[in-house]
């Protein structure tokens, strides 16, 4: 028998934060859990530690062992194809108060899109389409917004904090899809309420398709061999309701239960062969360290902004809040579990030997022209740090009335991102950037594609490059921020304008 035990305290070098009392409470809870676990085991404790040290500083995770089969069929969000009206791909979305059974037959109150129980439909966009999305706020007494994370759209359509939708109102976003095939996502983005609304369930995936050969070759039958995997950790109170808290500590709020598309301990039936997973870390703060329980390699084919130039074989993958990655797993040898360093099971893939997968992995996926290492029009640096009671960037907290950075239209820019302490992810609206350097070294091939979100931990300096040549935004700001939602909502966000003058 294999049993598991998780580390229960932060690594020795983790910096305790005097700003709040949260870490102390968390340690008390996890020590109690550890006592229960250890008391029930007595013998044969095998430590499950695929990675040296929990990236999240000790887990706070209820482990789901892969020694026993998963119990719940993975819920697959419905695919929402556009309705074509006068040549415009039209979508209707609503934000609704809802409820979802995560576990034990108890309905937990949620916020979800389009009267689903949790999350929302997966939107299918096609490159070159003119789209129009109506978003109606049916939440009884909460304003909201809806942002298309990773999308290159005009600022009026971006759905940032300035595009508030009050109860009963409808906001319409109209734009052309000008970017290549990718996995993006959408979620509320109202100042101070982003964490609470996303945690309550409001989020969904966006699949952008184009007519490149890779789209056709890779597994691409949605819900069959092309599976959305939305990773979110949650906590339930004694009554089974979602227990939301903002944690101003270094790492943000970690929650003990893993939900995948809203499903706990899930399995999914797949063909035997290649299966593509579209991974989204839609969590408040947790970083996932993913691998396969067989130890086999898998293939990363896409980063945040679309395909890598070539497929990259990996045995582990780190995915921070806000990030996406597309991976392809070979299931021809039988059942395989995607596992995480904190939770163990993420999802069990159950191949049907009678059904052969039809996808393949092309040698070349896309043309990703790399930025030259120098010759940028401008350089900036962004330090993500504690400011006042919360968090900030370059010593300042988010102020809706202040534009922090002004960028010349058409410019290429080199940005140096750093953080003296904690775990952060830097996200920029409207553009996709490339990582030039991580601690002075060029990125590995799996991190050399287009990104809109990058992990920046307290021991890293990450240099990225972007080109701002699609839209100017003289009327309102695009956001850049940490995608640990506790940090974003406590000030770690700023605004930029691209101006042609
Ligand atoms: Cu995922 Cu500013 O957003
Ligand atoms: Cu975004
Ligand atoms: Cu942060």
The whole-angstrom separation of Cα 243 and Cα 199 is 9
DSSP letter string, 192-218: TTHHHHHHTT--EEEEEE-S-HHHHHS
Cα 14 from Cα 7, distance rounded (Å): 14
* Contact status, residue 332 vs residue 494, Cβ threshold 8 Å: no
Half-sphere exposure of 143 (CA within 13 A, CB side): 13
**What pLDDT was estimated at residue 199?**
98
Contact (Cβ atoms closer than 8 angstroms) between residue 205 and residue 122: yes
Which residues, including other chains, have CB under 8 Å from residue 157's CB and lie 6 or more apart? Answer: 148, 173, 174, 175
Residue 110, SS3 per DSSP:
strand
Work out whether strand 461-467 and strand 433-438 pair parallel, antiparallel, or are unpaired.
antiparallel
> What separation in Å is there between the alpha carbon of 184 and the centre of ligand 2?
9
Is residue 501 classed exposed, middle or buried when 0-12, 13-18 and 19+ CB atoms within 10 A define those classes? exposed
Distance CA 358, CA 115 (A): 34
404 Cβ contact partners less than 8 Å away, ≥ 6 residues apart: 393, 394, 396, 494, 495, 496
Q: Tens of pLDDT along 79-107?
A: 999 999 999 999 999 999 999 999 989 99
Ligand 2 centre to CA of 372 (Å) is 26
Average pLDDT of every residue of the chain: 90
Report which ligand 1 atom has the smallest distance to the Cα of 493.
Answer: 2
Distance in Å, CA 267 to ligand 3 centroid: 32
C-alpha distances out from residue 295 to 347, 352, 357, Å: 15, 21, 21
- CA–centroid distance, 384 to ligand 3, in Å, is 7
Q: pLDDT class for 10, splitting at 50, 70, 90?
A: very low
pLDDT score at 54:
64
The pLDDT tens digits of the residues spanning 378-411 come to 999 999 999 999 999 999 999 999 999 999 999 9
Angle at 147 (CA atoms; ends 216, 263), nearest 5 degrees? 65
Alpha-carbon torsion (76, 164, 382, 423), positive or negative: negative
Nearest CA, atom 3, ligand 1: 149
Query: Atom 1 in ligand 1: which residue has the minimum CA distance?
Result: 149
pLDDT at residue 396, rounded to an integer? 98
Q: In terms of Cα–Cα distance, which of 368, 105, 402, 108 is closest to 212?
A: 368
Pairing between β-strand 266-272 and β-strand 344-356 as defined by DSSP bridges: parallel
Return the C-alpha torsion angle 459, 461, 462, 465, nearest 10.
Answer: 170
Handedness of CA 191, 324, 72, 342 (dihedral sign): negative
Condensed to tens digits (0 to 9), the pLDDT of residues 171-193 reads 999 999 999 999 999 999 999 99
Q: Which residues surround ligand 3, an ion (CB under 5 A)?
A: 424, 482, 484, 487
- Which residues' Cβ are closer than 6 Å to ligand 1? 147, 149, 187, 189, 322, 427, 429, 479, 481, 483
- The pLDDT score that the predictor gives to residue 59 is 59
pLDDT confidence tier of residue 282, bands split at 50, 70 and 90? very high
DSSP string, 229-297: EEEEEE-B-TTS-B------STT----SEEEETTBSSEEEEEEESEEEEEEEE--SS--EEEEETT---
The atom of ligand 1 lying closest to the CA of 185 is 1
Mean pLDDT for the stretch of residues 219-244? 98
Q: What is the pLDDT of residues 469-490, one digit of tens each?
A: 999 999 999 999 999 999 999 9
Tell me what pLDDT residue 14 has. 33
pLDDT band at 53 (very low <50, low <70, confident <90, very high): low
3-state secondary structure 305-318: CEEEEEEEEECCEE
- Interval 114-118 mean pLDDT: 98
Q: What is the mean pLDDT of residues 404-428?
A: 97
Going from the Cα of 495 to the center of ligand 3, the distance in angstroms, rounded, reads 16
Q: Is the pLDDT of residue 11 over 50?
A: no
Q: Which atom of ligand 1 approaches the CA of 453 most closely?
A: 1
Give the C-alpha separation, 325 to 184, whole Å: 10
**pLDDT confidence band for 66 (50 / 70 / 90):** very high
CB under 5 Å of ion ligand 2: residues = 149, 429
- Residues listed for the chain: 501
Q: Which ligand is nearest to the CA of 186?
A: 1
Nearest to 267 by CA among 353, 355, 350: 350
At 36 the pLDDT is 32
What's the pLDDT score for residue 411? 98
CA of 424 to the centre of ligand 3 (A): 4
Report how far residue 146's alpha carbon sits from residue 202's, in angstroms, rounded to the nearest whole number. 9
CB 176 within 8 A of CB 131: yes
Task: Please give the number of the atom of ligand 1 that sits closest to the Cα of 150.
Answer: 1
pLDDT band of 160, cuts 50, 70, 90: very high
Residue 58, pLDDT score: 59
Q: How far is CA 108 from CA 235, 254, 407, 414, in A?
A: 11, 19, 45, 45
Mean pLDDT within 347-375: 96
Q: What are the pLDDT digits (tens) for 12-49?
A: 333 333 333 233 223 222 333 333 333 333 333 333 33
In this predicted structure, what is the pLDDT of residue 501? 87
Show the tokens assigned to 271: 């063909």
Percent of the chain at pLDDT above 90? 85
CA–centroid distance, 83 to ligand 3, in Å, is 38
pLDDT at 459: 87
Beta carbons of 448 and 368 less than 8 angstroms apart: yes
What is the mean pLDDT of the segment spanning 414-433?
96
Q: Give the per-residue pLDDT at 56.
A: 81
What would the two tokens of residue 320 be?
């921070």
Give residue 239's region: left, alpha or beta (phi > 0; psi -120 to 50): alpha
The pTM (predicted TM-score) of the whole model is 0.90
- Residue 118, pLDDT above cutoff 70: yes
């Amino acid at each position: 028998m294999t049993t598991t035990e998780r580390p229960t305290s932060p690594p020795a070098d983790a910096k305790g934060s005097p700003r709040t009392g949260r870490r102390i409470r968390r340690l008390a809870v996890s020590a109690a859990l550890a006592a229960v676990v250890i008391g029930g085991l007595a013998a044969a404790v095998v430590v499950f530690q695929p990675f040296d040290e929990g990236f999240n500083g000790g887990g706070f995770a209820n482990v789901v062992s892969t020694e026993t089969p998963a119990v719940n069929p993975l819920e697959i969000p419905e695919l929402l194809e556009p309705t074509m009206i006068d040549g415009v791909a039209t979508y209707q979305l609503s934000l609704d108060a809802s409820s979802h059974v995560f576990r034990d037959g108890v309905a937990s109150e949620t916020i979800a899109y389009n009267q689903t129980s949790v999350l929302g439909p997966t939107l299918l966009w096609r490159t070159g389409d003119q789209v129009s999305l109506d978003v109606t706020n049916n939440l009884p007494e909460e304003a909201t917004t809806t942002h298309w994370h990773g999308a290159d759209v005009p600022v009026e359509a971006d759905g940032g904090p300035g595009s508030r939708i009050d109860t009963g109102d409808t906001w319409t976003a109209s734009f052309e899809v000008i970017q290549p095939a990718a996995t993006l996502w959408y979620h509320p983005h109202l100042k101070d309420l982003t964490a609470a609304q996303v945690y309550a369930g409001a989020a969904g995936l966006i699949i952008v398709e184009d007519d490149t050969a890779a789209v056709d070759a890779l597994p691409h039958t949605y819900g069959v061999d092309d599976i959305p995997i939305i990773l979110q950790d949650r906590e339930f109170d004694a009554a089974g309701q979602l227990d939301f808290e903002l944690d101003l500590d270094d790492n943000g709020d970690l929650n003990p239960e893993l939900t995948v598309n809203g499903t706990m301990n899930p399995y999914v039936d797949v063909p035997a062969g290649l299966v593509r997973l579209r991974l989204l870390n839609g969590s408040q703060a947790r970083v996932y360290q993913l691998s396969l329980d067989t130890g086999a390699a898998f293939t990363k084919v896409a980063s945040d902004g679309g395909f890598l130039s070539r497929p990259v074989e990996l045995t582990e993958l780190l995915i921070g809040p806000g990030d996406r990655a597309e991976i392809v797993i070979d299931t021809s040898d039988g059942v395989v579990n995607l596992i995480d360093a904190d939770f163990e099971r993420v999802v069990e893939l159950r191949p049907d030997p009678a059904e052969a997968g039809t996808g393949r992995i092309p040698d070349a996926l896309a043309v990703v022209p790399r930025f030259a290492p120098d010759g940028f029009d401008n350089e900036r640096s962004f330090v993500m740090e504690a400011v006042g009671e919360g968090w900030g960037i370059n010593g300042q907290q988010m102020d809706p009335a202040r534009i922090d950075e002004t960028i010349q239209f058409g410019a290429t820019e080199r940005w140096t991102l750093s953080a003296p302490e904690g775990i952060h992810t830097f996200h920029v609206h409207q553009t996709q950037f490339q990582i030039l350097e991580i601690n002075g070294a060029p990125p590995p091939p799996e991190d050399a594609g287009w990104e809109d979100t990058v992990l920046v931990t307290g021991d890293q300096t990450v240099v990225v490059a972007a080109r701002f040549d699609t839209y100017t935004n003289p009327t309102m700001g695009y956001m850049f921020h940490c995608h640990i939602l506790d940090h974003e909502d406590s000030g770690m966000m700023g605004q930029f304008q691209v101006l042609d003058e």
